[in-house]
Amino acid sequence: MRRKSFEDAECPIARGIDQVGDWWSLLILRDAFDGLTRFDQFERSLGIAPGMLTRRLRGLVEDGLLTRVAYSQRPPRHDYRLTERGKALRPVLIALYAWQNRLTPEADRTMVLVDRDGVTVDPVLVDRRTGKSLGELGARFVPGPAAGDGMRRRLDRHSEGTS
Amino acid sequence: MRRKSFEDAECPIARGIDQVGDWWSLLILRDAFDGLTRFDQFERSLGIAPGMLTRRLRGLVEDGLLTRVAYSQRPPRHDYRLTERGKALRPVLIALYAWQNRLTPEADRTMVLVDRDGVTVDPVLVDRRTGKSLGELGARFVPGPAAGDGMRRRLDRHSEGTS
């Protein structure tokens, strides 16, 4: 994955995409949330070439999203488990699910998010403190304490935004 | 982007990733949310090669996330605007922002999501109907009406999950 310019290194969305913004890495994480832990499980689930899977798993471990844990000494065997940082990514995958599912007629849905009683859950982003939706709050991005000139220009442009 | 196996075509998360799961497409969408609409604006913002940008914009239009609108006849000029489907993706980018920002000490943050009064918004996923967090609800995926065998196996595996 090509790393981006200095301005983008400042953007938390760009940094996030840089860590997980490729097909395979996101699908490996999806499988990890589904309880898969072993190389051969990921390989079978994804139909991915072993060399490709090795590189992606290594990248996810380097980025601190998965951790590699020995579960057998002889023969040496490892599995891959989500770190706290990796687990914290679940809302991104759930938001992606919600986006797709809202576009899919109910009868055509292959996966549904439910609560303990099997009642469908419709995930929506709200502000933790007030419980209000982001639309209701008119939520928008402003430069933070560490924003450089590039980020300030980006977000100024936003406030003059055409959409 | 390599398209995946039949089993994955069934998974709404995989379908979502397939549409937006590459660096450039997601960054173009981020810029579109920031109010950018014109080819040269995206080009300057992203430092992306024109041919690459052309291909990505075309893909986003084909997937129905952006729409290409003529704003001048002579010379012929177009801009790119988010469709409703594209706008509906905003929670995914906000979830990505929230994930990164929670890992960043307050003083080091370059972007902050605020409400109309400038008060920091902490975005969290809840169930629209009950307002409860997904953790509180024990939210999990189950096969939907259109789930095939592959999806059923995946989600059964989940319920036996090791994590």
- Chain B residue numbers with beta carbons less than 8 Å from the beta carbon of A9 are none
A141 and B101 Cβ atoms separated by less than 8 Å: no
B26 vs A17: CB contact, 8 Å cut-off? Answer: yes
pLDDT level of residue A163 (50, 70, 90 thresholds): very low
- Give the pLDDT of residue B90: 93
**How do residues B21-44 score in pLDDT, each as one tens digit?**
777 888 999 999 988 999 999 998
For residue A22, pLDDT over 80 is answered with: no
pLDDT average, residue stretch A112-125 = 95
- Chain A residue numbers with beta carbons less than 8 Å from the beta carbon of B112 are 141-144
- Give the pLDDT of residue B40: 92
Q: What single DSSP character describes residue A107? A: G
Alpha-carbon torsion angle B99, B102, B106, B112, nearest 10 = 40
**How do residues A63-105 score in pLDDT, each as one tens digit?**
999 999 998 888 888 999 999 999 999 999 999 999 999 889 9
Query: Of all residues in chain A, what percent carry a pLDDT higher than 70?
Result: 90
CB contact A32 to B (< 8 Å): yes
User: Of the candidates A46, A85, A91, which has its C-beta nearest B103's C-beta?
Assistant: A85
Cis peptide before B143 (omega within 30 of 0): no
- Chain B residue numbers with beta carbons less than 8 Å from the beta carbon of A141 are 34, 97, 111-114
Q: What is the rounded average pLDDT for all residues in chain A? A: 87
Of A120-134, A148-162, B58-72, give the lowest mean pLDDT range: A148-162
B111 vs A162: CB contact, 8 Å cut-off? Answer: no
Query: Of all residues in chain A, what percent carry a pLDDT higher than 90?
Result: 62
Residue A82 belongs to what H/E stretch? strand A77-82
pLDDT average, residue stretch A148-161 = 72
SS (H, E, C) chain B: CCCCCHHHHCCHHHHHHHHHCEHHHHHHHHHHHCCCCCHHHHHHHHCCCHHHHHHHHHHHHHCCCEEEEEEECCCCEEEEEECHHHHCCHHHHHHHHHHHHHCCCHHHCCEEEECCCCCECCEEEEECCCCCEHHHHCCEEEECCCCCHHHHHHHHHHHCCCC
Tell me the residue length of chain A. Answer: 163
Distance from CA of A117 to the nearest CA of B (A): 9
**How do residues B131-157 score in pLDDT, each as one tens digit?**
999 989 999 999 999 998 888 888 876
CB contact B9 to A (< 8 Å): no
B139 vs A113: CB contact, 8 Å cut-off? Answer: yes
Query: Of all residues in chain B, what percent carry a pLDDT higher than 70?
Result: 90
Give bridge partners of residue A72 from the DSSP assignment.
A77
- Look at the pTM and tell me if it is higher than 0.90: no
A112 vs B11: CB contact, 8 Å cut-off? Answer: no
CB contact A1 to B (< 8 Å): yes
CB contact A95 to B (< 8 Å): yes
Distance from CA of B76 to the nearest CA of A (A): 20
- Give the pLDDT of residue A159: 52
For residue A38, pLDDT over 80 is answered with: yes
What is the C-alpha separation between A163 and B34, in angstroms, rounded?
Answer: 8
